[in-house]
Amino acid sequence: MSTPDTTGSNDSARDAASSHLPDHIRRAIEITPAAGTGERIIDITTLGRRTGRARRIEIFFYRAAGATYLCSGAGGAATDFTFHLKNGIRADLPARATPVTDPAERQAVLAEIVADLNQPHGRDSGTLDR
């Protein structure tokens, strides 16, 4: 899990970290549970640890506890990457992924993400129409 707009772990640091962003970009990152699936899809670009080559993938991002998170199976140390907004607002933002290792913090963040995922998210919320 990580956040593109902060490297700190307290809420005041998170708020200050995103305050320098233009309003339209900050609003695109600070999604709410009402955000549709399309608003949650971004690309990220990382550099391969062995090859050094750039690799761009599509991933969902989530908001919890005042920060932006990515969920991945990758573990390890903090990693720098580029967070690419691409739906409506286009921006390439330098970011740093910091794994959430504290069990209590991890449980709280994941609980908030799961609660968010259980909300209806507009017309692209995964409902099927015939």
Q: Which residues contact 38 (CB under 8 A, 6 or more apart)?
A: 87, 124
Q: How far lies 112's CA from each of 10, 32, 52, 63, 74, in Å?
A: 17, 12, 35, 8, 21
Q: Which of 27-31, 34-38, 106-110 has the lowest mean pLDDT?
A: 34-38
The model's pLDDT over 46-101, given as tens digits with 9 standing for 90+, comes to: 998 889 999 999 999 999 988 999 887 666 778 899 999 998 889 999 999 889 98
- DSSP 8-state code for residue 3: B
Contact status, residue 23 vs residue 62, Cβ threshold 8 Å? no
**How many helical (H) and strand (E) elements, i.e. helices and strands, does the chain have?**
4, 5
- pLDDT score of 127 more than 90: no
